[in-house]
Amino acid sequence: MLIALIARDKPGALQTRLDTREAHVAYLKETGVVSQAGPLLDEAGVMIGSLVILDVADMAAARDWAENDPYAKAGLFAGVELIAWKKVI
């Protein structure tokens, strides 16, 4: 099951993102369920959130993955959405 994780950073949290980025990227690679991932950017190119496509068994597995993301544990996000996604292209 493909799940799109869309997360928006808390205002003014760029330093939290930068401080936690190495652990977050390691988590993306080590968990083996990330199909695609990258930061959301504002008009100036500053990172303001995340988009991660997870390939997991079910929504519960996606929630578990999201809760254990180092970014989430650091309190970076103002909100996180998990949405079932269908790849077309």
Task: Provide the CB-side half-sphere exposure for 55 (13 A, CA).
Answer: 8
Q: Is 79 a domain residue? A: yes
Q: What is the CATH number of the domain that holds 73?
A: 3.30.70.1060
70 contacts 7 by C-beta, under 8 angstroms: no
Mean pLDDT, range 64-86, rounded to an integer: 98
Q: Which two tokens stand for residue 83?
A: 């949405």
Q: Is 62 a domain residue? A: yes
Q: Which two tokens stand for residue 56?
A: 């997991």
Residue 51: domain span: 2-84
Residue 71: which of 3, 16, 4, 6 has the closest Cα? 16
What is the pLDDT, as a whole number, of residue 33? 98
In whole angstroms, what is the distance from residue 11 CA to residue 25 CA?
Answer: 21
Q: Is 89 a domain residue? A: no
Q: Is 80 a domain residue? A: yes
What is the pLDDT, as a whole number, of residue 15? 97
Q: Is 25 a domain residue? A: yes
Question: Domain total for the chain?
Answer: 1
Q: What is the pLDDT of residues 2-56, one digit of tens each?
A: 999 999 999 999 999 999 999 999 999 999 999 999 999 999 999 999 999 999 9
Categorize the per-residue pLDDT at 64 as very low, low, confident or very high, splitting at 50, 70 and 90.
very high
Categorize the per-residue pLDDT at 70 as very low, low, confident or very high, splitting at 50, 70 and 90.
very high
Mean pLDDT, range 58-79, rounded to an integer: 98
Cβ-based neighbours of 11, under 8 Å, separated by 6 or more: 78
